[in-house]
Amino acid sequence: MSDPKTMLRQRVDELLAAYDPATVSATEFLGARFDAGLAWVHFPEGHGGLGLPQEYNEDVANWLAEAGAPEPDRSRNGIGLGMVAPTIMAIGTKEQQEKYLRPLYTCEEIWCQLFSEPGAGSDLAAVATKAVLSGDTWTVDGQKVWTSGAHHAKRAILVARTDIEVPKHAGMTYFLVDMEDPGIEVRPLRQITGEAEFNEVFLNGVKIPDADRVGETGEGWKVATTTLNNERVAIGSGADREAGHIGVLAEKWRKYPAIRSEAAYHELMHWWIEAEVTRLTGERLRQQLEVGQPGPEGSAMKLAFATQAQAITGLAIELDPDHGLLYDDWTMHRPDSTDFLGRDVGFRYLRAKGNSLEGGSSEILRNVVAERVLGLPAEQRLDKGIPFKDVPR
């Protein structure tokens, strides 16, 4: 076999010949794609990959898209695909990799994330949900919050406190949880938009076999960091010009001359340019990743995204006052997936408020950029080096 690209092209053709996307179900096709090593080519053979450099994923995706083949549904299983899979691949046991990766990829099993708690938001290492080992089974009690998709998730990743006698970062452990356990109760958490995208999850005597622990006992912080780093990498992908909120607003501007004014024009152009330079920065980051030189700007770009989403949706409301005074629907829904652009302007404005909170608040991200990218000294802390049980909470 000459070069990887030729080999991959051949594998893609064989896959398409054996499983015609027009006739087989998405699940069946994705399963076959996984078995052919074409799910994520940078993973090892047997786990949906072929041990090739990451850059070839783009070729495979393009060829399959041309043939009209289905992709796994990132809007429903984003946590599974973007965060759980790389974590299990990097740190999970062989058994975990064999058991979980394939159904995750085909989206037969949707995953959710049980990290945040009422008392552990920005300060994730303050989780108080307790896990106790007896024999080879853990028993978990506690409460999680801001869990998207918990109501149709089959499985979850969980960070729990396993030792209160050591400093907080050292006493956490990372688990894979079956969401069908009778000790799990999921309640919708209604947001300012009227919807309930997220849930509260109560854990009462939930049982987890020790085989579903990821990493060593007490190393949960390190494992969670792997997961969250993947969350940030997932953000910096190349997009088309006017792909986000700015595109919706620019289209409206073009369509309705009545909303235009000289002053609003300059504000619109200001945000158009901001969105464009963020797009260019994302494109450059993608090019850096392709040649194996990822830059540190990913976490900073989320700041830009949040600021722009909030400002642009606010401007969009103001531009059309008689429309901005109305709201499309306050009925409590539990949507299957999140679309920041999907509804009317009032919804988009309210939903955008979450963009500077979810996945790391903008304040925390500024600390991350300042400390890890610029190398500024850390803030003095009151919780360093003391056992978790003695930390003020």
Partner 1 sequence: MTNLLYTDIEDALRESVRGAMERHLDPHSTTGIYDEPKPWEAKAWQSLTEELGVAGLLVPEDRGGVGAGPREAAVVLEEIGRAVAPVPYLTSSVIATQVLLELGESEHIAALAAGEATAALVLPWSARPGHWSPVQGTEPVKPVAGAVGADLLLIPVADAGGVQLHLVKAAETTVESLVSFDMTRPLAAVTPASGEVLATGDDAHRAVEAGLQAGAALLASEQYGLARSCLETTVDYVKNRIQFARPIGSFQAIKHRLADLYLEVTQAGAAARYAAATLADDDADKAVAISVAQAYCSDVAVHAAEEAVQLHGGNGMTWEYPVHLYLKRAKSSQLALGTPEKHRQDLGPLVNITT
Instruction: Supply the DSSP symbol for 389.
Output: G
Binding mask 223-262 for partner 1 (x = CB under 8 A): ---------------x-----------x--xx-----xxx
Among positions 30, 84, 206, 301, the unique one binding partner 1 when judged by CB under 8 A:
301
Q: Minimum CB separation from partner 1 for residue 315, in Å? A: 13
Binding mask 315-354 for partner 1 (x = CB under 8 A): ----------------------------------------
Residues 116-175 that bind partner 1 (CB under 8 A): none
Q: Minimum CB separation from partner 1 for residue 259, in Å? A: 11
Q: Does 365 bind partner 1 (CB under 8 A)?
A: yes
Q: Does 366 bind partner 1 (CB under 8 A)?
A: yes
Per-residue tokens: 6: 């030729």
Per-residue tokens: 277: 């330079």
Among positions 265, 326, 339, 386, the unique one binding partner 1 when judged by CB under 8 A:
265
Q: Minimum CB separation from partner 1 for residue 286, in Å? A: 9
* Selected catalytic residue, list 231, 276, 318, 363: 231
Using the contact rule CB under 8 A, the part of the chain among 17-25, 120-128, 171-179, 358-366 near partner 1 is 358-366
Q: Does 283 bind partner 1 (CB under 8 A)?
A: yes
Measured CA to CA, the distance from residue 181 to residue 205 in angstroms comes to 9
Q: Does 273 bind partner 1 (CB under 8 A)?
A: yes
Strands 184-189 and 137-148: unpaired
Measured CA to CA, the distance from residue 250 to residue 269 in angstroms comes to 9
The angle subtended at Cα 117 by Cα 112 and Cα 123, nearest 5°, is 110
- φ, ψ dihedrals at 122, nearest 5°: -60, -35
Among positions 134, 374, 385, 392, the unique one binding partner 1 when judged by CB under 8 A:
374
Q: Where are the extended beta strands (E) located within 216-330?
A: none
Among positions 377, 382, 385, 392, the unique one binding partner 1 when judged by CB under 8 A:
377
Among positions 185, 370, 387, 391, the unique one binding partner 1 when judged by CB under 8 A:
370
Q: Does 272 bind partner 1 (CB under 8 A)?
A: yes
Q: Does 287 bind partner 1 (CB under 8 A)?
A: yes
Is 231 an annotated catalytic residue? Answer: yes
Measured from the CB atom, the residue of 152 and 260 that comes closer to partner 1 is 260
Among positions 62, 376, 384, 386, the unique one binding partner 1 when judged by CB under 8 A:
376
Task: Please count the CA atoms within 13 angstroms of the CA of 219 that sit on its side-chain side.
Answer: 11
Task: Please count the CA atoms within 13 angstroms of the CA of 45 that sit on its side-chain side.
Answer: 1
Measured from the CB atom, the residue of 6 and 287 that comes closer to partner 1 is 287
Measured CA to CA, the distance from residue 57 to residue 16 in angstroms comes to 16
8 Å CB contact between 250 and 268:
yes
Measured from the CB atom, the residue of 22 and 263 that comes closer to partner 1 is 263
DSSP letter string, 97-164: HHHHHHHHHHTSS-EEEE--BTTBSS-GGG---EEEEETTEEEEEEEEEEEETGGG-SEEEEEEE--S
Measured CA to CA, the distance from residue 174 to residue 43 in angstroms comes to 22
Residues 6 or more apart in contact with residue 254 via CB below 8 angstroms: none
Measured CA to CA, the distance from residue 334 to residue 332 in angstroms comes to 7
Residues 23-52 that bind partner 1 (CB under 8 A): none
3-state secondary structure of 231: helix
Q: Does 269 bind partner 1 (CB under 8 A)?
A: yes
Q: Minimum CB separation from partner 1 for residue 181, in Å? A: 41
Q: Minimum CB separation from partner 1 for residue 235, in Å? A: 13
8 Å CB contact between 91 and 221:
no
For 205, the enclosing helix (H) or strand (E) is strand 198-209
Q: Does 276 bind partner 1 (CB under 8 A)?
A: yes
Among positions 128, 189, 317, 373, the unique one binding partner 1 when judged by CB under 8 A:
373
Give contact residues for partner 1 (rule: CB under 8 A).
238, 250, 253-254, 260-262, 265-266, 268-270, 272-274, 276-278, 280-281, 283-284, 287-288, 291, 295, 297, 300-301, 303-304, 363, 365-367, 369-371, 373-380
Residues forming the active site = 231
